[in-house]
Amino acid sequence: MLLLVLLAPALHAQASVPAFSAQGLEPWTHKRFEGETQYSLTTTDGQQVVDAQCDNSASGLYLEREFDIVDTPVLRWRWRVLSGVQPAMDHNEKAGDDALARVYAVAKTGFFAWQARALNYVWAHNDSAGADWPSPYTDKNHQIAMNVGAPDGDGWVTHQVNLADDFGRYFDIQPEQIVAIAIMSDCDDSASQAHVQFGDVELLPASAR
């Protein structure tokens, strides 16, 4: 959903992703699609994180900058779902394209918008973790289920993926940079509600553990 929004030329090169815990939301832009998911800062366990309140809405926060994924290909983030259960829907249909939480990484492979590719890591509503599928809106956006369904307790879940490997796996390309990162919670298709939190998003060397 955010793919076409994240295609403007990057503002400048940036070695690291601004941390929510240190810089808050200042560098991020709010993009609305349907209604407005409410994003704010809150402190939990002594650290500042992003709090997302989704109510029959679809909007996200995105950051347009050039990030190197040759030296720092590992994308790491943490998230948790405090509440929200979306009904089983067909993710292959536009009417079923909801996710409790999303983290995007976008690469440009040419001058034109249609040459962009996006990896979309999702907390999905009805798929097995590890499942993947092209977005019903465009095959330039590939979705990968990292978590599924109702939250398990109230604990944080941390993920790390190798973007260079995943762009090769899902798109058969080897970009040297990504030009945007985004987070999102959307629940408009299911007319549901969700309460989600995002911790810092980081880009790290391949040796990161």
Provide the pLDDT for residue 207.
87
Residue 114 and residue 128: Cα distance in Å, rounded?
30
| Domain assignment of residue 51, yes or no | yes
> What are the pLDDT digits (tens) for 102-145?
999 999 876 666 678 999 999 988 777 789 999 998 999 999 99
Is residue 139 packed enough to be buried (19+ CB in 10 Å), middle (13-18) or exposed (0-12)? exposed
Q: Is the pLDDT of residue 77 over 90?
A: yes
pLDDT over 90 for what percent of the chain? 62
Please report the pLDDT score of residue 91 as a whole number. 82
Looking up residue 142, the CATH number of its domain turns out to be 2.60.120.260
Residue 29 lies in a domain: yes
Residue 161 lies in a domain: yes
143 in a structural domain = yes
Per-residue confidence (pLDDT) for residue 78, from 0 to 100: 96
- pLDDT, residue 153, reads 62
Residue 117 falls inside a structural domain:
yes
Q: Tell how strand 116-124 and strand 58-68 pair up.
A: unpaired
Task: Kindly tell me if the per-residue pLDDT of 209 is higher than 60.
Answer: yes
Structural domains of the chain, count? 1
Q: Is the pLDDT of residue 10 over 80?
A: no
Instruction: Tell me the pTM.
Output: 0.89
Q: Smallest Cα–Cα separation from 185: which of 89, 117, 86?
A: 86
The predicted structure's pLDDT at residue 9: 45
- Quick check: is 209 in a domain? no
pLDDT in tens, 18-75: 999 999 998 999 999 888 999 999 999 899 999 999 999 999 999 999 999 999 999 9
Structure letter (DSSP) for residue 207: T
Extract long-range pairs of 162-166: CB within 8 Å, 24+ residues apart: 162/73, 162/74, 162/75, 162/206, 163/69, 163/73, 163/74, 163/75, 163/105, 163/119, 164/69, 164/70, 164/73, 164/206, 165/73, 166/119
Tell me, yes or no, whether 159 lies in a domain.
Answer: yes
Bridge partner residues of 203 (DSSP): 75
62 lies in which domain range?
A: 3-204
pLDDT for 6 equals 47
| Domain annotation covers residue 127 | yes
